[in-house]
Structure 1
Amino acid sequence: MMTPTSSSPQPASPDIAANLQAVRHTIRDAARNAGRKAGSVELVAVSKFQPAASVEAALQAGQRLFGENRVQEAAAKFPALRQAWPDLQLHLIGSLQTNKAVEACRIADMIESLDRPALADALEKAAQKTGRLPDLLVQVNTGCEPQKSGVLLPEADAFIDMCQQRFGDRLQGLMAIPPAHEDPAPHFTCLAELGRRHGLDTLSMGMSADYPAAIAAGATLVRVGSAIFGARPPPTP
């Protein structure tokens, strides 16, 4: 394993390790309370805007699955980390521009934000170019919020059908981000029902503030950032 570089913020490492342990315990307890099997929920550590040293601290604490919003940030941060931790898994969880599809296919293990036909087109072409297609989740805008990415709920069934026909088993499931100022539970239930209708088992839902409720509704992936890494640094321009 790679040892921390001299520039790594050593005092932060014990906090990240302790935070990870606390989040894992909460996941375990939430799954047990929901009558679910141990290990049925995976933690995606959201490392967007975090320095590589913080990701390294999480890796040293046993975390292997990470989520990034920006393709360019992930491409700068993760290749070197993969050399030291070959079992590292990277999910792209932010809105994906079509002109970033090729790089996304090169670096990601899963793209959680497939939400429009133009992106499906771009990913298909990128997969042909790179010889590689990551696993995919359809992002659903369960609150029909105009400012938010995701296929609108009334259009979701048709879009999911199209993606299943086009990508087959590479389409693993669904992702959603409920409206910030609403009870998230109905949105989680809605996404779970949508997944059942289409035979899709992977549900990425729940973040630092609400992931126990997401687990109760059937989440198989929870995306947790601030509860692990603390407040995010401001993004670079």
Structure 2
Amino acid sequence: MTPERTAPKSALARRLPLIIIAAVALVGAFTLREHLSFDALAENREALIALRDQHYLLAVLGFVAIYVVIVAFSLPGATIATLTGGFLFGVFPGALFNITAATIGATLIFLAVRWGLGERLVARMDASQGRIHQIREAIRENELSMLFLIRLVPAVPFFVANILPALVGVSPLRFIVTTFLGIIPGGVVYTWVGAGLGEVFARGETPNLGIIFEPHILGPILGLCALAALPIVIKAIRGGKS
């Protein structure tokens, strides 16, 4: 088989996981929204509690697997999954299950993007000159701080924070570490909200998912953001003085 024929096939093989993720995400956006909702959780809460009480390990493994799939394929329902983790397993170990599953799912989509697009795109950035190369170098110089920032800032969509690092050549180990640590604050907050869903269900209400933007919650998270940004600011000041 000639190199000309193998090259397109190898390129397709690299991009196949990404194509599958995009296709599943598109289908899921239209077909799963009602099934991965707060109303669905409310309707099935008794069955879920019964499963947890009778088969705890199976419930944990099933929950983590479903959460991983939701994140890896960017399906709707990640927030509901986090609430469910708190509702079924409490703040702890619910938060640990949520954060671990989210990190695994994020890593899978990161690797798919990195394998399919990232390595070639990074090579082009490194070979190019001008503004694009300067942006890549700026990210590389402040990589850890930038990775923590995009995880800590609540306004950054989770799937964006999964894809962007792959497109600029972040190493898998750094991605995994910063993802796991960076999503702890938000993960704990929403798991805590989920742990109180029993009372919410009893009142026939819906949880306050905007709680993360309330001052007593957002303040400490912004403090962590400022701490993560501090090395970038220091480098910028030192660069300006040189």
- Normalised by the length of structure 1, the TM-score is 0.26
Give the number of the structure whose residues are more often strand, by fraction. 1
Higher helix share: 2
With a CA cutoff of 8 Å and minimum separation of 6, indicate the structure with the bigger relative contact order.
Answer: 2
TM-score (norm 2): 0.26
